[in-house]
Chain A
């Protein structure tokens, strides 16, 4: 590693340290005025009374503040519930907003400086580490030492990172009040884009997008002679920055619903939920377009594009989850399990999630038209459980937190219902395949090792069989790492695409059926 790269890494780690220490900085004090800003009029009247003991009191950490807030807030709600005063229960969640408003002192007063010292410096350090990579080296496969790396090979660094990421996701989904200081940093950016303060989701979107952009640059360095990888990486970077990050926030600025035009049901599992449908249908022609476009993608976009190009058109060129996996997750792609057993678990799991999503959506739509008469409460429970289990725990905590433990596509492989839908089309009605080049395979195993979806590519390649698998996201890395030019992703005629009993090219003595 060159000196400048080491300095870059050091700078990044310093920024990360500062970033984390912000959570423990500053103090928290809620005043009546602040409370009024973040609550509805009706709730304010109640909470002013209920939270009286903590108003004006200074707490030294978000943890103690949030626990005090919860104590008084829950006490009130419990009382109302016990008295069956359902209409007086406060259903809105003010924890995050109140904690954020209460944050005072160092972080709040130095937002711009701290933004630069954390996210800014971190990006700078990461780029300083990444940009000089492979300089003065001929272009080629850059996997030297991957298996010796503590970070990339489930060593102590990898496991620590995994635990850290899991912690971040748990906080993001269930305890966002602990990370209000982080959201303060991106408030100015949020006000610029959307006109409002930053939620934890805005913060998450910002860091997520930055991660894809910075690690996308790493992909540019790593695969600088590989046009397929360069184009594909540019594509995910573009879709994340524009479709997933900027456009939705600008829509909010224009008083339209937040909408990611490339997100497709059932990955976007709330698409048919009543509040989403209502907000789209009440937002004029652009809202109507959102709704129609979303449905067109489901019934036409997915089958047609997958027929022509395979599911890669989405999973490794457009999708945000795929975008992160293909950039920030690239160093961990080899950690996926290639065993037959893992494949069997994968098929059960991912298709079960698809069934879950379809059933849930079916009930949701039925309820929408029947005014919540058909198992209305039960549908709400379904929504909650899906959101908790699949939306948060699986897609978020496991999906990214497990990068350094089980590879970068755990969610895509085992959990994503859209991937399951795309996969069914790809497997049974598509022109896409990975062609095996006759008898040239030497069974080395690079293709299988670096397959992020855990496909045992070599199993097919060494018997001269084309690879047609529902899970293949078409990242093209197998074809890149193959030392003998055996694999080629291509779209072609359906005839001859699937060869159940392949014949290896090269031996004329016998017809060899592998």
Chain B
């Protein structure tokens, strides 16, 4: 038994003390992997290569730099001394070629770099669908720090901008432009905003809020071509309906795909992304892939084969770091969760809420009269088991739903514990009663929140909150 374990470890990756682990990419996946590997293994040499920026920054915060909420320095989660102190070498350079045979990397500005173990955390790149004019100046996506710099330069004298594609980056870009008082036309192919992910009520809620911010939201419209001003700059777009919209900036935010041009046409097996097994191993020994660029050969239950969010990148990094240091374990994420912010409205989701569902799944939806808050629970009509929850304008407690979903909580149990699910700041309006009444009315139940005794209320007044 023991021998077998050792063999598995030995096969998984090189285990020598002085092994050199090279990680390409200093995003959340690569950096998390490096940090956790260092915690578990003090002897390996660890090098992180990135051409984007010297230090790790939070990609999700790029928008706030443009909006003036933060400076670039604020988006760095660790101070600059952190890396040297933890013996994580940073190499600020672009990798131009990987020689998997010789196990070495060619760099743009520096000498060859040899590795024993290679971790590919290459991230994503914005999708382009071959629109005429997509290469013009002032036309771009938003993913990298360089994209941000380009956007800054391209929007200094911009009278109108067009954002194409109704996803999370699209609405971020619209919000960014709005913060600089640049009028935005927002072309969304779908009939409601992000309705390939959100159920229609939520999609409409967000749509209303977008319009409330005076964004010219065009639902059901698509980009046909981008026009030139004669000097290589954009000066208008034309929609598929034939409308010409003059603009000096076009944001293309129609999704992202794995950034794998570096490894195309090599021995590395790829599909849309770099193909990995449940331990993040690729087909080449000692080469691993994590984060946005990885594609599971067999996705974990109920998950997509490519997951391109911050949280999954982080979990990939954690898991691979463990696998490089100990006996490999398969990647096994807990219940799905995600969050976003649509202008002023926060969104959280736990478990799986799809945009459409079929029996035996049914839904309970509550919306606040102001149209800016809502809660949806998707559950099995027969077993009453909750499959997922969406919340807009209400903060929910991750730990509650993480445990609840793993323990197959029923919808009625959630309803009776609404006060435990809530994570809104103190003194905010709670809507437990309204939500419960709406539920009771719809499903003919007579559920009630636990009654607080007077003694308990007095304790609560003194700070002894009784929930949690």
Interface locus among B7-15, B224-232, B287-295, B327-335: B327-335
What would 7 A/B residue contacts be, using CB atoms closer than 8 Å? A139-B344, A143-B68, A228-B428, A443-B310, A505-B402, A506-B402, A508-B334
Contact B77 A485 (CB under 8 A): no
Within 8 A of B (CB), among A492-514: 492-493, 504-510, 512-513
Interface locus among A177-185, A345-353, A476-484: A476-484
Distance of A299 from chain B, by nearest CB (Å): 19
A-B contact count (CB 8 A): 175
CB-defined contacts of A280 to chain B, threshold 8 Å: none
Q: Does B395 contact A (CB under 8 A)?
A: yes
Distance of B438 from chain A, by nearest CB (Å): 22
Shortest beta-carbon contacts, A-B, top 9: A438-B398, A140-B344, A485-B395, A308-B463, A444-B61, A227-B427, A145-B68, A491-B463, A483-B341
Contact A485 B348 (CB under 8 A): yes
Q: Does A141 contact B (CB under 8 A)?
A: yes
CB-defined contacts of B395 to chain A, threshold 8 Å: 437, 485, 488
CB-defined contacts of A445 to chain B, threshold 8 Å: 58, 61, 64, 70, 74-77
A228-B425, A505-B398, A510-B322 known; A141+B337 contact, CB < 8 A: no
**Residue among B74, B76, B425 making CB contact with A489, cutoff 8 Å:** B425
CB-defined contacts of A140 to chain B, threshold 8 Å: 343-344
Bound-state CA distance A443–B29 (Å) is: 13
Contact A506 B333 (CB under 8 A): yes
**Residue among A138, A481, A485, A506 making CB contact with B311, cutoff 8 Å:** A506
Bound-state CA distance A443–B77 (Å) is: 6
Bound-state CA distance A138–B398 (Å) is: 27
CB-defined contacts of A458 to chain B, threshold 8 Å: 77
Contact B397 A438 (CB under 8 A): yes
Bound-state CA distance A340–B79 (Å) is: 8
CB-defined contacts of A509 to chain B, threshold 8 Å: 315, 318-319, 322, 329-333
Q: Does B423 contact A (CB under 8 A)?
A: yes
Encoded as 1 (CB less than 8 Å from any A CB) or 0, chain B from 428 to 468 comes to 11000000000000000000000000000000001111001
Bound-state CA distance A202–B398 (Å) is: 51
Distance of A208 from chain B, by nearest CB (Å): 27
Q: Does B303 contact A (CB under 8 A)?
A: no
Within 8 A of B (CB), among A131-186: 138-141, 143-149
Chain B interfacial residues counted at CB < 8 A: 61
Q: Chain B: which residue is nearest A448 at the CB level?
A: B74
Q: Chain B: which residue is nearest A458 at the CB level?
A: B77
Q: Does A490 contact B (CB under 8 A)?
A: yes
Most interface-central of A309, A435, A438, A444 (chain B CB within 10 A): A444
Bound-state CA distance A481–B67 (Å) is: 14
Encoded as 1 (CB less than 8 Å from any B CB) or 0, chain A from 45 to 57 comes to 0000000000000
Q: Does A292 contact B (CB under 8 A)?
A: no
Q: What would 7 more interface pairs be, CB under 8 Å, given A504-B318, A509-B319, A509-B330? A: A144-B179, A308-B463, A444-B61, A448-B74, A449-B69, A506-B333, A507-B332
Contact B58 A146 (CB under 8 A): no
**Residue among B36, B346, B397 making CB contact with A512, cutoff 8 Å:** B36
Encoded as 1 (CB less than 8 Å from any B CB) or 0, chain A from 463 to 484 comes to 0000000000000100111011
Contact A143 B402 (CB under 8 A): no
Contact B465 A491 (CB under 8 A): yes
CB-defined contacts of B39 to chain A, threshold 8 Å: 513
Q: Does B71 contact A (CB under 8 A)?
A: yes
Within 8 A of A (CB), among B378-402: 395-399, 402
Contact A508 B337 (CB under 8 A): no
Q: Does A242 contact B (CB under 8 A)?
A: no
CB-defined contacts of A492 to chain B, threshold 8 Å: 465, 468
CB-defined contacts of B396 to chain A, threshold 8 Å: 485
Encoded as 1 (CB less than 8 Å from any A CB) or 0, chain B from 152 to 196 comes to 000000000000000000000000000100000000000000000
Q: Chain B: which residue is nearest A489 at the CB level?
A: B426
Bound-state CA distance A509–B36 (Å) is: 14
Distance of B208 from chain A, by nearest CB (Å): 11
Within 8 A of A (CB), among B58-105: 58, 60-61, 64-65, 67-71, 74-77, 79
Q: Does A370 contact B (CB under 8 A)?
A: no
Distance of B326 from chain A, by nearest CB (Å): 9
Bound-state CA distance A140–B318 (Å) is: 34
Q: Chain A: which residue is nearest B181 at the CB level?
A: A144
CB-defined contacts of B45 to chain A, threshold 8 Å: none
Q: Does A442 contact B (CB under 8 A)?
A: yes
Q: Does A446 contact B (CB under 8 A)?
A: yes
Bound-state CA distance A491–B395 (Å) is: 17
Contact A147 B311 (CB under 8 A): no
Distance of B156 from chain A, by nearest CB (Å): 13
Most interface-central of B74, B343, B468 (chain A CB within 10 A): B74
A488-B395, A509-B319 known; A147+B68 contact, CB < 8 A: yes
Q: Chain B: which residue is nearest A476 at the CB level?
A: B425
Distance of A340 from chain B, by nearest CB (Å): 7
Q: Does A231 contact B (CB under 8 A)?
A: yes
Bound-state CA distance A148–B397 (Å) is: 35
Contact B463 A431 (CB under 8 A): yes
A146-B68, A444-B64, A509-B331 known; A138+B58 contact, CB < 8 A: no
CB-defined contacts of A435 to chain B, threshold 8 Å: 423
Q: Does A439 contact B (CB under 8 A)?
A: yes
Q: Does B209 contact A (CB under 8 A)?
A: yes
Contact B68 A507 (CB under 8 A): no
Bound-state CA distance A145–B58 (Å) is: 19
Most interface-central of B36, B334, B424, B425 (chain A CB within 10 A): B425
Contact B398 A510 (CB under 8 A): no
A446-B70, A485-B348 known; A228+B462 contact, CB < 8 A: no
A228-B426, A510-B318 known; A490+B465 contact, CB < 8 A: yes
Q: Does B339 contact A (CB under 8 A)?
A: yes
Bound-state CA distance A300–B71 (Å) is: 43
CB-defined contacts of B264 to chain A, threshold 8 Å: none
Encoded as 1 (CB less than 8 Å from any B CB) or 0, chain A from 409 to 452 comes to 00000000000000000000001000101111011111011000
A443-B60, A449-B74, A508-B332 known; A143+B69 contact, CB < 8 A: yes
CB-defined contacts of A506 to chain B, threshold 8 Å: 311, 315, 333-334, 337, 398, 402
CB-defined contacts of A442 to chain B, threshold 8 Å: 58, 60-61, 310, 339
Encoded as 1 (CB less than 8 Å from any B CB) or 0, chain A from 23 to 66 comes to 00000000000000000000000000000000000000000000
Contact B341 A484 (CB under 8 A): yes
Within 8 A of B (CB), among A214-273: 226-228, 231
CB-defined contacts of A344 to chain B, threshold 8 Å: none
Distance of B87 from chain A, by nearest CB (Å): 18
Contact A309 B463 (CB under 8 A): yes
CB-defined contacts of A508 to chain B, threshold 8 Å: 332-334
Distance of B70 from chain A, by nearest CB (Å): 5
